[in-house]
Amino acid sequence: MDLGFRMHAERTPNPNSIKWVLGQSVADVVASASFAKGVEAAVSPLAAPIVALDGVTGVLLGPNFVTVTKQESAEWTALAAPIVAAIKAWAAGGQPAFGPAFVPPATAEDDEVVAKIRLILERDVRPYVEQDGGEIRFAGYHDGIVEVVLQGACAGCPSSSVTLKLGIEARLKDEIPEIRSVVAL
C-alpha cells in the first residue's frame, strides 16, 4: 500500500450519504459528475465498482472527494469496507476517475441572467454544497424560476429544502431581482 495515500470519511447532512475525502485529485476533467446503477468502468473506473455494490444507489465524484449514497435499508457498517477497498484499488491503479467513454455535459450559450446565475452558483453556492458532499447543477431558467439539480449527499437530504430556499434562493434573489423562486428537479 502507498503510504502517501490519504483518505477520511465525513458525515453529511444526509444520513444516507457519506463523503470520502482523498488527499489527491478525483474529478479533473469536470467539476463533478454523478453516477447511478449501471455505469460501466469505461465511463468511470472509480464509480463503477462502488455503485455496483448492493445497497449503493449513487456516487458523486468531486474535485477531491467521493460521495456515496446508499439505500435507506442498507447499513454503513456493511458498505464502508468495500467502498474503501474500491477507492484504494482505484488510487493504487493510477488510472483517471473518468474513462474513455465518459462524455462531459454540454454547455450552452447563456444570456446575461443565466450567466449571472451560473456565476453565483459556481462561486458562492458550490463550495458550501461540496463541503457537505453534495453537488448543485444549473438545469434551467424560465419565467423567474431557476431550476437546479441536487446530487450526491444533497439528493434526498432532509435539510435540502431549507438550503434551497433560505440559502440558494435568497443568495440569487440578492443579486438578480428577476428571480422569483428556485426549485430542485
Predicted pLDDT at 53 = 97
Predicted pLDDT at 8 = 93
- E-assigned strands of 44-179? 56-61, 65-70, 134-142, 145-152
Predicted pLDDT at 2 = 45
Predicted pLDDT at 82 = 97
**What CATH number was assigned to the domain covering residues 7-93?**
3.30.1370.70
Predicted pLDDT at 18 = 94
Predicted pLDDT at 110 = 66
Query: Domain-by-domain residue ranges, the chain?
Result: 7-93, 112-184
CA separation for the pair 66, 47 (Å, rounded) = 9
**Are 7-93 and 112-184 equal in CATH topology?**
no
Second-level CATH architecture of 112-184? 2-Layer Sandwich (3.30)
Task: Tell how strand 56-61 and strand 33-36 pair up.
Answer: antiparallel
Q: What are the per-10-residue average pLDDT scores of the chain (185 residues)?
A: 76 91 88 89 96 95 93 95 96 92 72 88 87 87 89 81 83 91 89
Which residues have CB under 8 Å from 135's CB, separation 6+?
A: 31, 32, 34, 60, 62, 67, 126, 129, 150, 151, 152, 154
CA separation for the pair 59, 69 (Å, rounded) = 6
Taking a C-beta distance cutoff of 8 angstroms, is the pair 79, 70 a contact? yes
CA separation for the pair 113, 33 (Å, rounded) = 25
Other C-beta atoms lying within 10 Å of the C-beta of residue 21? 16
Predicted pLDDT at 103 = 84
